[in-house]
Amino acid sequence: MIIPKPVSLVLHDGIFTLDADLKIVCDTSRQEIAFISDLLSQRLAAIAGLTAETIAPSERVLVRGNSPTVTLELGKLETSPNPEAYRLRVERHSVTVRANEPTGLFYAIQSLCKLLMSNDGGRTFVIPCLDIRDFPVFEWRGMLLDCCRHFISVDYIKHCIDCMAELKMNRLHLHLTDNEGWRLEIGKYPELTRTGAYAEDPGFYTQADIREIIRYAQERFVTVVPEVDVPGHALAALKSYPWLCCTGAPERNSGHQKDLFCAGNEQVVQFLLDVLDEVIELFPSTYIHLGGDEAPKERWKECEVCQEAIRKHGLGNEEGLQGYLLRTLSEHAARRGKKTIGWDEALECGIHQDMAIQWWRYRNKGEQPAIHALEQNHHVIASPNSLTYFSFPTEPDHHFKPERTSDLQKAYSAKYVPDGLTEEQRRRVLGAECCIWTEYLTEKEIDRMLFPRVLACAELMWSYPEQRDFSEFLTRVRLEQHRLERDGVVFGPYFSVME
């Protein structure tokens, strides 16, 4: 009935019937709980056409007879200390939701709303009597949105946050800088958005826009994680300030962009530190993503400034220079109470010990990047590209060969934790993240690429079952599709028609 599937769901005899006397019982003196209560009331109105009054626990004595109630309460759960855990108990005349923290209450009402059913054409809504005990396996349950190749509006980002919240996903990774566009307003360097935001598809986020996105996400217990890509994927920044690159005259080339930030130039490093300071000030997230991927070193090999930095600091080669740059930024972030993330190529250049690694090169390197990261005691976020890149289509086309396609069943087969790890290494797998890259996608096309495959990812990130029954999952997907389409979500194909 529910995606992601709960840890434990036990059905009992009887049903809970919603009617016009329904009351939500909770302590609204806490802002988070007041928001959760309001959101539940809005969802019940949208689904069942009922207006539920919220009352304080002290007013429960005023509830008439067997009038239905939904009680939201905080208290220690015996089953799990996890701050996202919850227990949902449905009896004939009452629903009781209990959680360690407000996050758990929020996730419980996502489950509650998915249990609503009507057998009389929507005149009456009921919930079967049951007991759910639930908590997530992974703390990091994310989605990446590439806002650079094509600009994504604030409204659509909010739509994605709503979808994530319903699926109990909690990390929104915004890819904000790339060759095609610099999307984040930086006060100290206004040309980044005056010029860089209009490199190709125009648009950028003001700092006020970002604060609004963060506010909206925080209400729904989603953390927004920014990515500023270093040293590559930087052409929009280099076009804005040409002195940031080795040649002073950046040019577009085919393949991976050869012009990088000039890592040997102390002024360039200071620029990146200044940008990082504004990003840290703007985003509450503990983690800041620094990229570190797909950075060919031809320009650095030809740059006397970079070569002098390699000699001066004893870095050995250009990979050592990239490691030096990423360590400098990571150490600066650490002094501000932040941690950093890099794509798995960053492992090859000697990075800061506390940098987490986002494993993505599954198609070419399998699980080895994740294993190497864990052996070096880094935390890992799993994004194996063949299984979690939902910008890959279900059918091959002129952009994507058959090996760069995926469907719902393939997404549900994904493995985020390599075999043969120690228990300590397993604990260092923070979770997983699906990715939407927008080289070939506009905002209007994203929904049908995400859905239904993101449902598989959401389930694995929450429960990560070792034994997976795809047929049973498919039944729940079809129910979820009906609910989500009612909310305006557009679904794409489930499977390849070629199979």
How far apart, in Å, are the Cα atoms of 479 and each of 255, 394, 485?
42, 21, 10
Whether residue 232 contacts residue 294, with contact meaning beta carbons closer than 8 Å, is answered with: yes
Tokens 């909310």 correspond to 487
Retrieve residue 424's tokens. Answer: 């300590």
Q: Which residues, 6 or more positions from 159, have their beta carbon under 8 angstroms from its beta carbon?
A: 488
The yes-or-no answer on residue 294 being catalytic is: yes
How far apart, in Å, are the Cα atoms of 378 and each of 119, 354, 418?
51, 7, 14
Catalytic residue from among 294, 302, 469, 472: 294
Cα 94 from Cα 70, distance rounded (Å): 6
Retrieve residue 385's tokens. Answer: 């590209």
Cα 264 from Cα 69, distance rounded (Å): 65
Cα 129 from Cα 70, distance rounded (Å): 13
How far apart, in Å, are the Cα atoms of 242 and each of 239, 268, 318?
5, 11, 21
Q: Which residues, 6 or more positions from 366, have their beta carbon under 8 angstroms from its beta carbon?
A: none
Catalytic residue from among 175, 233, 378, 379: 233
Cα 299 from Cα 363, distance rounded (Å): 28
Whether residue 77 contacts residue 99, with contact meaning beta carbons closer than 8 Å, is answered with: yes
Q: What residue type is 467 in one-letter code?
A: Q
Whether residue 240 contacts residue 213, with contact meaning beta carbons closer than 8 Å, is answered with: no
Cα 346 from Cα 205, distance rounded (Å): 27
How far apart, in Å, are the Cα atoms of 351 and each of 257, 319, 425, 449?
22, 10, 19, 34
Tokens 């639930």 correspond to 134
Cα 235 from Cα 214, distance rounded (Å): 27
Catalytic residue from among 178, 259, 293, 318: 178
The yes-or-no answer on residue 178 being catalytic is: yes
| Catalytic machinery residues | 178, 233, 294
